[in-house]
């Protein structure tokens, strides 16, 4: 997800960063950081503009522009990172100055080596991989279908042969061509990370969480352990329902689930097949958000206005007029674009935008709330210093909009006029409501964890280029309990068919966000004085919650993330306990449904 760009910048021919040759002092470190922040602030504005044009108008020319400017900024940031490392042991550094130096040293997603030409090569590889994805096509009944449309079709099609065709063609056409260049990108990135003093680029990515990289890896494993029983129960139930619908020849009664049957190209969220798993009585919600949006004649703009309305109800100022003038809400008919939804802050102040190819459906209504969460976060911290223009950690940034989306309850839909009071499901429908949520929120958890486990393994050398496909399949089986619908060999690169791999977007943030959003949601509901079941809570319209939320958002990255977490939740530890509490009634019900079944894989 593109939040704001540290990539491209106005082109720089020579990059010289002054640094003292003698023993460094805290005063010199401060002067260095001040100069770096000013330069990066200025350059990032051109950077964002160039990236925006490329993302919304993909041509060979815009690819070349973004690659060239990205290379220049990467070289600059690598130079700053190298200089920041020299101040690491300077005496008298304040905690804030030390954190800023660490951010300069470790905050580059793709650090280029300093040797001549390396930054340009890395930028060209990165841009080329994203371009392959952006122009990607699969097939349906032998006819080409673009990325946005094939995603939608995967959610509604119930023909196993056609699902297999779409899944296989997308992964073959988009992922496989990237394989060789991806290996080159990994090698260059690792070379750059080692120059900066990290064991590898994976360790560098894990260093951005106010704790040693190894401790952070252990934390993610511990968090997964808290919620894994919930996922295992959902997997067992879902597999049984798929077996009932398709039969043993398509989906076996035991073992892993066939990946293309889960309503999503990557099997990362399963909500699109809720109609298959919804049990009689308990599963009928009585409404469908997509149907409600269509009935009320919502178009993409009205959907975004709806998302804005939630934040306005909490006391946040309306989005600027430029947001409506400059955002990309729908897919243009005349050019290639990156349809993957993202939120942008072009000028580090108030030039906020989203980029989406919105379709009038429930999924995109939720995604809009998510993306706007980024925009309101960006605006809340826009008075911070440049290096603090970020979330407390990247999981925070992803969690804010999702916390709001959890408030898309039936009661909220009544408040905004989408649902009639008479259509609000009674308490006996709660299992259905929770199951529908779990098909997205819980199903995502292992996928959110394994994307970076895969890349960490590649960066560390544990996964060799010759094993890219088999390692991917093994992790998908281990964590998700799924298998591909067709034979895969080492000519493939299925990981590349997921946007965040060619775009080199660290993914653990999404795993953390799935847990943090429930922590934030529970804290908001507690602050609102909610007394009912947690999953029925909506804090829409509660300005006290909005003020408390804004106080955390305004902190940006100026304090370690436990401080920000404590400011809103009164707790300093990330945890899966709030999610477990939210879904506790469903877990009890799933265990009853799974009794006597051979769960696991």
Catalytic residues: 371, 500
Strands 143-146 and 257-258: unpaired
> CB-based contacts of 316: which residues, under 8 Å, 6+ apart?
376, 546, 550
Other C-beta atoms closer than 10 Å to the C-beta of 596 total 6
Task: State the angle between helix axes of 584-593 and 430-441 in degrees (0 to 180), rounded to the nearest 10.
Answer: 90
Residue with tokens 């009320």: 296
- Ligand-binding annotation for 209, yes or no, is yes
- Ligand-binding annotation for 171, yes or no, is no
CA quadruple 405, 167, 67, 103: dihedral sign: positive
The answer to whether the beta carbons of residues 333 and 146 sit under 8 Å apart is: no
Task: Give the C-alpha separation, 10 to 45, whole Å.
Answer: 9
Other C-beta atoms closer than 10 Å to the C-beta of 576 total 21
Token duo for residue 42: 């200025």
- Ligand-binding annotation for 22, yes or no, is no
Task: Give the C-alpha separation, 490 to 4, whole Å.
Answer: 35
The answer to whether the beta carbons of residues 173 and 71 sit under 8 Å apart is: no
Q: What is the biggest distance separating any 2 CA atoms in the chain, rounded to whole angstroms? A: 76
The answer to whether the beta carbons of residues 94 and 45 sit under 8 Å apart is: no
Other C-beta atoms closer than 10 Å to the C-beta of 486 total 15
Token duo for residue 299: 């178009």
The whole-angstrom distance between residue 328's C-alpha and the CA centroid of its chain comes to 19
Name the residue among 341, 330, 333 with its Cα closest to residue 366: 341
- Ligand-binding annotation for 298, yes or no, is no
**Which helix (H) or strand (E) is 406 found in, with range?**
helix 394-406
Enter the DSSP assignment of 528: T
Which residues are registered as beta bridge partners of 143?
A: 140
Other C-beta atoms closer than 10 Å to the C-beta of 421 total 8
**Which helix (H) or strand (E) is 140 found in, with range?**
strand 137-140
- Ligand-binding annotation for 398, yes or no, is yes
Residue with tokens 């379709």: 359
Hey, which bits of 96-202 come out as E strands? Answer: 137-140, 143-146
Enter the DSSP assignment of 23: -
Other C-beta atoms closer than 10 Å to the C-beta of 313 total 19
SS (H, E, C) 442-493: CCCHHHHHHHHHHHHHHHHCCCCHHHHHHHHHHHHHHHHCEECCCCCCCCCC
Q: Enumerate the known binding-site residues for Zn(2+).
A: 370, 374, 398
Q: Enumerate the known binding-site residues for chloride.
A: 209, 509
């Amino acid at each position: 997800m593109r939040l704001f760009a540290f990539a491209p910048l106005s082109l720089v021919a020579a990059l010289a960063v002054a640094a003292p040759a003698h023993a460094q002092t805290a005063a010199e470190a401060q002067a260095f950081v001040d100069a770096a922040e000013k330069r990066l602030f200025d350059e990032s504005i051109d950077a964002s503009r160039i990236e925006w044009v490329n993302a919304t108008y993909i041509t060979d020319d815009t690819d070349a522009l973004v690659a060239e400017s990205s290379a220049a900024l990467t070289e600059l940031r690598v130079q700053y990172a190298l200089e920041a490392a020299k101040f690491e042991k300077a005496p008298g550094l304040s905690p804030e100055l030390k954190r800023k130096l660490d951010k300069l040293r470790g905050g580059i997603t793709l650090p280029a080596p300093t040797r001549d030409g390396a930054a340009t090569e890395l930028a060209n590889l990165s841009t080329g991989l994203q371009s392959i994805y952006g122009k990607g096509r699969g097939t349906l009944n032998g006819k080409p279908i673009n990325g946005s449309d094939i995603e939608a079709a995967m959610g509604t099609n119930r023909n196993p042969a056609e699902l297999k065709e779409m899944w296989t063609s997308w992964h073959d056409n988009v992922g496989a061509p990237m394989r060789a260049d991806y290996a080159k990108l990994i090698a260059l990135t690792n070379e750059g990370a080692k120059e900066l003093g990290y064991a590898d680029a994976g360790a560098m990515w894990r260093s951005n969480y106010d704790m040693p990289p190894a401790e952070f890896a252990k934390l993610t494993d511990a968090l997964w352990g808290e919620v894994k029983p919930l996922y295992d129960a959902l997997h067992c139930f879902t597999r049984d329902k798929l077996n009932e619908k398709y039969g043993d020849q398509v989906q076996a009664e035991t073992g892993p689930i066939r990946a293309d049957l889960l309503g999503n190209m990557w099997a990362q969220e399963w909500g699109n097949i809720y109609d298959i798993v919804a049990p009689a009585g308990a599963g009928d919600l009585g409404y469908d958000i997509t149907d409600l949006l269509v009935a009320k004649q919502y178009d993409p703009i009205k959907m975004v206005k709806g998302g804005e309305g939630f934040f306005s109800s909490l006391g946040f100022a309306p989005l600027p007029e430029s947001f409506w003038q400059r955002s990309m809400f729908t897919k243009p008919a005349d050019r290639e674009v990156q349809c993957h939804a993202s939120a942008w802050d072009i000028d580090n102040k108030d030039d906020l935008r989203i980029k989406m190819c919105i379709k009038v459906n429930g999924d995109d209504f939720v995604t809009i709330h998510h993306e706007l969460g980024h925009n309101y976060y960006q605006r809340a911290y826009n008075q911070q210093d440049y290096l603090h223009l970020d979330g407390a950690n990247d999981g925070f940034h992803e969690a804010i909009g999702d916390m709001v989306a959890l408030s898309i309850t039936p009661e909220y839909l009544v408040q905004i006029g989408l649902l009639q009071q008479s259509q609000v499901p009674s308490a006996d429908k709660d299992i259905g409501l929770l199951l529908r949520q779990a098909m997205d929120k819980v199903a995502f958890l292992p996928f959110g964890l394994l994307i970076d486990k895969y890349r960490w393994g590649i960066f560390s050398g544990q996964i060799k280029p010759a094993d890219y496909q088999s390692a991917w399949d093994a992790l998908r089986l281990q964590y998700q309990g799924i298998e591909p619908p067709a034979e895969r060999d080492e000519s493939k690169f299925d990981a590349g068919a997921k946007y965040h791999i060619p775009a080199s977007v660290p993914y653990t943030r999404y795993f953390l966000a799935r847990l943090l959003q429930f922590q934030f949601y529970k804290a908001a509901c507690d602050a609102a004085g909610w007394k009912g079941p947690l999953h029925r809570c909506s804090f829409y319209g509660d300005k006290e919650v909005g003020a408390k939320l804004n106080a955390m958002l305004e902190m940006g990255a100026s304090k370690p993330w436990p401080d920000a977490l404590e400011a809103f939740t009164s707790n300093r530890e990330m945890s899966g306990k709030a999610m477990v509490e939210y879904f506790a009634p469903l877990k009890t019900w799933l265990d009853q449904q799974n009794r006597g079944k051979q769960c696991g894989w």
